Chain A
Amino acid sequence: MNNAVMTLLIAPYVGAVLAYILGKAKRELAFWVAEVVGFVLFLASAVLFLKYSDTPIDITYTWIHFGNLELPFGIYIDHLSIVMLLVATGLGFLDIHFAHDYMGEDPDQPRYYAKVLFFIGGMILLVITKDLIGAFVGWEFMGLASYLLISFWYFKKSAADAGMQAFLYTRFGDIFILAAIALLFFYAGTVDLVKLNEMANAGELDKTLALVAALFIFMGAIGKSGQFPLYPWLMNAMEGPTTVSALIHGATMVNSGIYIVARLFDFFSYTDALYIVANVAALSAFIGATSALVQKEIKKILAYSTMSHLSIAFVGLGVGSLAAGMLHLVNHAIFKALLFLSAGAVIYIAHHQKDAWKLGGLIKTAPFVALFMAMGSLSLAGVPPFSGYFSKEMVVAAAWEWGNGFTKTFVTIAALLSIAYITRLWILIFLGEPRHEEVGGSVHKPSNIWMRLPLGILAFLTLFISIWQMDIVHYIVGEEFIEPHVAGLGAFMLTCMLIIFLIVVGLYVKGLNLLYKIASHHFVQTIHQILYNGYYVEAMITWISKNIIVGAVAKAARWFDTYVIDYIVNKTLDFTYMVYKVFRAGHSGKIGTYMGQFVLGVAIIVIAILIIVKGL
């Protein structure tokens, strides 16, 4: 068992190095190293899952001993970790597998696979660590990896910008975690995640401190999981390769925020921070769902849907149902990976055309992809018997049962809207006639092993995992689990969804002209603009950082440095020249002047002596 843990800890990094080095020698090898390592990681997780006895694996170790303080590093693997491990390594492996074709033409494959393995390593570290410090390490590893992967095509300006944005946005959240570590370390005396929960349950923590720390940690989660207001990076992250998007959105990064809140669930509930979590998440869910309605790019639609669904999972946690939140996290990871990989396949097929409005009619050329994507879409929309239905229902029910009005309303709207945007997306891609000449012509044929197989596995999973929904819940939270139940909610939701579905189908399949007419209205245009730009949050943050931080504060600092401090320093030279000029006046070179000065000096000495020694 410890072997499995060590493998999980070390293999990704060794694999990353190996993939890079071997890949440099022979490009093909990079993929194979990654594939093998990815599979080994999944195997290790599976071994942990199968061999898991009732007690969690708990290893503690002092990482740094400095002064009177000791910074710990520990491993803690319980059910929650194992679920996250399976998600991360399983989806990660499929993602690597899928990349064989998708990234097949890229000359920089060694770099790609090294980064991907590093990325998965970060996620693994996050979910198996015992301390906030270890979590922060994994957390930041993912930040780095996502930065490097999003700007994988660094020579594209947009990709480089997106990478920078992703790093800075998530980093902004991360520094709060760093602050939280320091606060907890000193005021709570521990950064041990398990112990914090225990202390919270025992009521040993100071409420204010715990609230502040919890909110700081949640700030980190906001950054990583793309909640309001730090979500814009999630959309721009689509500049990276689609497999990377799948990795970020399905297997790793975005789940980390939810995981950390879930891991510290008792701590969070003790401090009432969950209340804030629920509200922020509900707002984010609404923003994501509405913005997804009007996006053009396939991946942006999926990105906003990720945001929305992560928020739904957060709402689940926020209203107090750990089970609902985690269940949705797992289900979402699977169907979102499926959707992204399908989107990747579509993009691969369509010669890297990402604009949904320029695609169309692809069902003829890629029926399997269409089918798999449809399954993913249905799961995302929350249609039974796909897994998405169960978890979403549970979250909404929990929100109705325990949440406040704001949460309730917004999360329901977000949940209902998912069918609208995903149906729209599917229709735009697969139905109708090709709207772009490239797509109409020759297409890449997706291969069976490398593309259809992972999609098929995921599609299969998203359908059949429904069977074990309750088992997953029990596995994570134990047997004594209260299922939220709101009478008639399921029926209400399904009815609403059906209505929305029909409207969307009507509009996009038959009534495009009507749609254009509506869209051209001035008021609708305005709304469209707001939604399309993600409520201008990105514009606002950019404005603040550009004009306030760089343009005002940094510029003022620069001004002060150049024209006050350094000015004074450099002006000392002019000052010496001024003094010199004054002094020079006395140096005429005439002996008479000198004699005058001489006499002056004599006078000074004599008078001074007489004054000082007066009375003698």
Chain B
Amino acid sequence: MSFIVLIAAGLLVPIFYKNNIVIAKLIAVIAFIMAAYFIFAGQSLGSLFPYFVADDATRLMEFVLLVTLAAVSLALTGFERPLIAQMLFLAGASVAFLETNNFFIYIVLFEVIAIISYILVANIRNFYNAEGAIKAFIAGAVASGIILLGFALFSFSTDSFDYASMNIAGKYTLIAVAIMLAGIFYKLTVVPMHGWAADAYSQVNHAAAAILSGVIKSVVLFATFKAFYKFLVAYPLATVLIFSFFAILTMTLANFMALWQKRVSKILAYSSIAHSGYALIPFAAAASVYSYAGVLYYAVAYIFMQTSVFLILNDLRRELGVKYLEDIKGLYKKAPLHSFIFTIQLFSLAGIPLLAGFLSKAVAFYAGVDAGLWWVVLIALLNSALAVGYYVWIIKHIYFDEPKGNEVIQMSTGSLIGQLILLAGTLYFGIVAGDIFNATISF
């Protein structure tokens, strides 16, 4: 049901674009809420189509996704109105993507989401937007090609696309999985497939970047873990080595890159890349019973905080023209509420406790320790400590420096409600870990 509601709303919304953006937003929010309700009520796509199974964890992920998107649509302004319909479609696709238990459908929906993301970034207003969009598009196209290549190989060597009964043995299967993984790493912005993301995240419209880097990444992360779980467990040595290697490479490179950036959006882009690195640790530790919980927790936490920071940056850019670190000096005087929420979310990203960013890391990394990879976890933790450097550097500009101008901006109501929802998510999952574990207990 939720799928249908979302798609229907997505088709309905563009009608109101011209006349009344508020109605469009309202419809979208209602659609998200309804969809969330259906999911809460236990209805899944599985009741309509085969190949879809929703376990508790998936439902939780979907729920979080829908709440986040509702918050995002509340926070949008007229300028970003095309995003509303795109988000509804994205939500529909994501719900299916998360629930599927069929590799074929996984690949198809992966491509669907990729296409939606191209459309998302296509809201081009200036040269920078265009550059980012083109980069995202070309890199995405190449990745799609690679994934399809891998999938083609895979389809030759397997008897079934069902997650449970897939064929996982055989040289071709392995090569196929490897090639597909490479394509998916592109979407997850794993180094060295990250080049486009650093530019695209920082250059496209920040609201689009919020969805790209926050929502889509989390969804892909979670769905991919489910899809590849069987392979990860079957080849522990390869899993550990490859994922540890890429995890360390990604987070280290991204953190060092982020440290010396001057554009705020670029810092956040690299921080997003670094978080992909952290998120790979539960993949490496797939053998651990905590890996599923780790991935889920990471995806859930990440969706809230990353979306929130990009949305705030969007506001700031629109109202104050914030681009560089210079521009946010003394921001606490100009925009106290923005600064406050921004700071909390940044702390969450940095992994400061009582915020989702910490507990998610704690659980995800514990999966690594549980699998015996404590040295990888140590490197990851040191990396996250290094990352604190640039988060604090942003906060330093906001609170410790004096502002240049003296204009003061208010937060719009929609934006405030949206941000509060995201903040509530960050706080809730920062203190209460029970839901995540209850959801993954059956796995």
A–B contact with Cβ pairs below 8 Å: the answer is yes
A residues apposed to B, CB below 8 Å: 576-577, 579-580, 583-584, 586-587, 589, 591, 593-595, 597-598, 600-602, 605-606, 608-610, 612-613, 616
Decide if A593 touches B195 in the complex (CB within 8 Å): yes
A612 to B260, CA, bound (A): 36
CA distance A616 to B175 in the complex (A): 11
Contact B178 A605 (CB under 8 A): yes
Min C-beta distance of A260 to chain B, whole Å = 55
Chain A CB within 10 Å — which of B134, B259, B260 has the most? B260
- Set of chain B residues within 8 Å of A594, measured between Cβ atoms: 135, 139, 195-196
- Residue pairs across A and B with Cβ atoms less than 8 A apart, 19 shown, are A576-B386, A577-B260, A595-B138, A598-B143, A598-B186, A601-B185, A601-B190, A602-B179, A605-B181, A606-B179, A608-B245, A609-B174, A609-B175, A609-B178, A610-B171, A610-B174, A612-B238, A612-B241, A616-B170
Report which of A577, A593, A597, A608 forms a contact with B242, defined as CB distance below 8 A.
A608
Indicate which residue in B139, B171, B259 contacts A598 across the interface (CB closer than 8 Å). Answer: B139
Neighbouring B residues of A616 by C-beta, 8 Å: 169-171, 174
User: Given A597-B195, A598-B186, A609-B238: A591 and B139 within 8 A (CB)?
Assistant: yes
Residues of B within 8 A of A (CB): 134-135, 138-139, 142-143, 146, 169-171, 174-175, 177-179, 181-182, 185-186, 190-193, 195-196, 198-199, 235, 237-238, 241-242, 245, 253, 256-257, 259-260, 386, 389
B193 near A598 with CB under 8 A, answer yes
A595 vs B143: C-alpha distance when bound (angstroms): 10
* Bound-complex Cα distance A577 to B261 (A): 11
CB closest residue in chain A, given B190: A601
Decide: B241 and A601 in contact? CB cutoff 8 A: no
Contact A580 B260, CB 8 Å, known A591-B135, A591-B139: yes
Question: Least Cβ distance of A599 to chain B in Å?
Answer: 9
State in angstroms the CA–CA spacing of A593 and B193 once bound together: 11
**What's the minimum C-beta distance from B133 to chain A, rounded to whole angstroms?**
12
Q: CA separation between A606 and B177, bound complex, in Å?
A: 9
A579 close to B256 (CB less than 8 A): yes
Contacts of A584 in B (CB 8 A): 257, 260
Q: Closest CB-CB distance, B188 to chain A, in whole Å?
A: 11
What's the nearest-Cβ distance from chain A to residue B309, in Å? Answer: 22
Q: Of all chain B residues, which has the CB nearest A589?
A: B199
Residue of A nearest to B255 (CB): A576
Interface of A is mostly: helix
User: CA A507 – CA B190 in complex, angstroms?
Assistant: 101
Given contacts A597-B195, A601-B182, A601-B190, contact A580 B242 (CB under 8 A): no
Other-chain contact of A587, B169, B179, B185, B198 (Cβ < 8 Å):
B198
Complex: chain A residue closest to B195, CB-CB: A594
Chain A residues, Cβ within 8 Å of B257: 580, 583-584, 587
Known contacts A612-B237, A616-B169: A598-B142 contact under CB 8 Å: yes
The answer to whether residues A576 and B143 also contact, given A601-B182, A608-B241 and a CB cut-off of 8 A, is: no
Q: Which residue of A lies closest to B389 (CB)?
A: A576
| 9 nearest CB pairs, A to B | A594-B195, A597-B192, A602-B182, A612-B238, A609-B178, A580-B260, A601-B192, A606-B178, A579-B256
Q: Do the beta carbons of B242 and A609 come within 8 Å of each other? A: yes
Q: Inside 8 A of A595's CB, which chain B residues have their CB?
A: 138-139, 142
Are A580 and B259 CB-contacts (below 8 A) given A594-B135, A600-B192, A608-B242? Answer: yes
How many Å from the CB of A425 to the closest CB on chain B?
68
Are A591 and B196 in contact, CB atoms less than 8 angstroms apart?
yes
13 additional A-B pairs beyond A591-B138, A594-B196, A605-B181, beta carbons within 8 Å, are A576-B389, A580-B260, A587-B257, A594-B139, A597-B193, A598-B139, A601-B190, A601-B191, A605-B178, A606-B178, A606-B182, A608-B178, A612-B235
Q: Distance in Å from the Cβ of B249 to the closest Cβ of chain A? A: 9
Task: Point out the residues of chain A lying under 8 angstroms from B242, CB to CB.
Answer: 605, 608-609, 612
Q: How far is the CA of A591 from the CA of B196 in the complex (A)?
A: 7
Which A residues touch B146, using CB under 8 A? 598, 602
Q: Which residue of A lies closest to B231 (CB)?
A: A609
User: Which residues of B are found within 8 Å of A593, using beta-carbon distances?
Assistant: 195
B143 to chain A, nearest CB (A): 7
Q: Which residue of B171, B198, B256 is within 8 Å of A576 (Cβ)?
A: B256
Q: How far is the CB of A354 from chain B (nearest CB, A)?
A: 58
Residue picked from B178, B259, B389, most chain A C-beta under 10 Å:
B178
Chain A min CB distance to B214 (Å): 22
A605 is contacted by which of B138, B182, B256, B386 (Cβ under 8 Å)?
B182
CA distance A586 to B193 in the complex (A): 12
Task: Write the chain B residue with the least CB distance to A595.
Answer: B142
B259 touches A576 (CB 8 A): yes
Cα A579 to Cα B199 in complex, Å, equals 20
Nearest Cβ on chain A to B194's Cβ, whole angstroms: 8
* Interfacial chain B residues near A598, Cβ < 8 Å: 139, 142-143, 146, 182, 186, 192-193, 195
B residues in contact with A591, CB < 8 Å: 134-135, 138-139, 195-196
Chain B residues whose C-beta falls within 8 Å of the C-beta of A613 in the assembled complex: 174, 235, 237-238
Chain B residue at minimum C-beta to C-beta distance from A616: B171
Q: B183 to nearest A CB, angstroms?
A: 8
> Across the two chains, which residue of chain B brings its CB closest to A576?
B259
The complex places the Cα of A609 from the Cα of B178 at a distance, in Å, of 7
Chain A min CB distance to B201 (Å): 13
Candidate in B143, B237, B256 with the most chain A CB atoms within 10 angstroms: B256
Residues of A with C-beta under 8 A to B199: 589
Cα distance, A602 to B253, chains bound together (Å):
18
Centre residue among A583, A601, A616 by max chain B CB count within 10 A:
A601
Q: Which residues of A contact B193 (CB under 8 A)?
A: 597-598, 601
CA of A460 to CA of B3, assembled, Å: 115
Given contacts A601-B182, A602-B182, A605-B182, contact A610 B175 (CB under 8 A): yes
Q: How many whole Å from B191's CB to the nearest CB in chain A?
A: 8
- Shortest A603–chain B CB gap in Å is 9
Cβ–Cβ contact A606 & B175, under 8 A? yes
Closest to B172 in A: A616
Q: Which residue of A lies closest to B198 (CB)?
A: A587
Rounded to whole angstroms, the CA-CA distance of A612 and B237 in the bound complex is 7
- Nearest CB in chain A: distance from B182 CB, A: 4
Contacts of A589 in B (CB 8 A): 199
Q: Which residue of B lies closest to A581 (CB)?
A: B260
Which residues of B sit under 8 angstroms from A612, Cβ to Cβ?
235, 237-238, 241-242
Contacts of A610 in B (CB 8 A): 171, 174-175
B241 touches A576 (CB 8 A): no
Query: In the complex, A223 Cα to B213 Cα: how many Å?
Result: 73
Which of chain A's residues have a CB closer than 8 A to the CB of B170? 616
- The CA of A589 and the CA of B256, in the complex, are separated in Å by 17
Residue of B nearest to A607 (CB): B178
Least CB distance from B233 to A in Å reads: 14
Contact between A576 and B139 (Cβ–Cβ < 8 Å)? no
Shortest beta-carbon distance from A602 to chain B in Å: 4
Contacts of B198 in A (CB 8 A): 587
